[in-house]
Chain A
Amino acid sequence: MIARSTVTLQGRQVPFTPGETILDVAKREGVEIPTLCHDPRLDPAGACRTCLVEVSGQRRLMPACATKCGEGDEITAESERVERHRKTLLGLYLTDHPFSRDEAERGPPNELLDMAERYAAPTDWGTLDNKRAARHGDRNPYIDFDPELCISCARCTRYCDEVEGVTAITLAGRGSETTITTVDNLSLMDTTCEMCGGCIDTCPTGAMAEKLPLTHGLKKERELTKVRTTCNFCGVGCQLDLNVDPEGHDGRGRVVKVTSPEPGTTTNDGNLCVKGRFAYEFIHHEDRLTTPLIRGDDGELHQASWEEALRVAAEGLMGVRDRHGADALAFVSSSRCTMEENYLVQKISRAALGTNNVHQCAAT
């Protein structure tokens, strides 16, 4: 028999699997523990200190994100001490961070401000001048870093290193001057950066933000509607969220940016590549084809309905089969097709038209 391991969380006995952290168990049990530097895709850093809780046998408060449960541990996530800790810590953060939403929210919700509100952190402790250096004039087209909003949680640098394996950005300097930068403060364009934008996705305050919505003065993320879809740039099938401004495009809704779903909820685990995250302008581009076109006898393309277009294509294909046999046809599907689409391509090829000449361009 496998002995069940348990800890006491807020006075309740709850099970855990050896290796699980206090945060893992608290999440499952619905006990709220705030975090800022935590991202389930990264090794815990325990640096932001928001998640400290009391653990029996430990004199010091322990970081829930990095502390593994031990058999019989008594964990207190709500107590006078923990409450004072959260309030004073967040109060201190706010001395080093703008706290009007206008200044401090560049798009995505600012998790620090939300948390400070939730725990009623003091806002009257005075303000410190920011000492974190910026990389002014980085000419890369996508990623902007605002040191005023940076809380040095190192999620971006750890993501770049641990998930992407790219290490284009680093913590630099030390103390209150600690900032995020590249080798010799170069533009991201001149580094190993692949512009995946994962730094933007993981940043809890919006210090790392996408340039386009900033320069276009677009609405904050709270005012946008998210529509989950599958990226159609390749066949991997990454899930992404189109962020739609419902009032845009004459009230029909306009896609103004792309964000990734919560890590752990989709197969791409919140990761996207440069295309999925940033190449969405084509959606509303004026050159985009929005109806089928059929080339007429005059040699020009003419707008057509789907029924017409499909009929013309079917007639052409069946004409070839009738004149030259089914094996005169071959089907090559695009690497941007999903698995379901590939399935349908081989179906039309084999079942509907009777040839095994079917291929997928990514197969070679």
Chain B
Amino acid sequence: MSKIEFTLARNRSGRLVCTLADGSVHANITPVRAFPLAAPNEGLALMSQDGHEIVWVDTLDELNPDQRALIDSELTGREFMPEISRLNSVSSFATPSTWSVTTNRGTTAFVLKGEEDIRRLPNNGLLIADNHGILYLIADRKALDRHSRKLLERFL
């Protein structure tokens, strides 16, 4: 799809509204990435309130700056996957265990319910789900510092 086929705006209740080339207006649009982990910049859909695909975007680069800004702002408010840069401490090596971590979104602590909540991704990546279902990403566990790696090893 080319750049001008739809326009985006934010309405007074803070929701995205999408107007298509044929003049149809869709309120409460949510942008959703098709491959949030494997290819975040490829494949983005604008979904209507009732869960139907309104617009498909092949790559984010194809959006014009205004659209891009709105979509980015909506995505930052929606996508939440803190990337762990360091494990500061863990309460125990047996689960459930409370991990104190530094992430790209600040430091926090979460409870890991069991080792099976750690999912392996390609290229040494890990995806860790906490007890509330929040996902934490470790992009490359080999790239962590020694201390973090040592703690992490015990759970893998």
Do A and B originate from a single complex? no
Residues of B participating in the A interface, judged by any CB pair closer than 8 Å: none
Residues of A participating in the B interface, judged by any CB pair closer than 8 Å: none
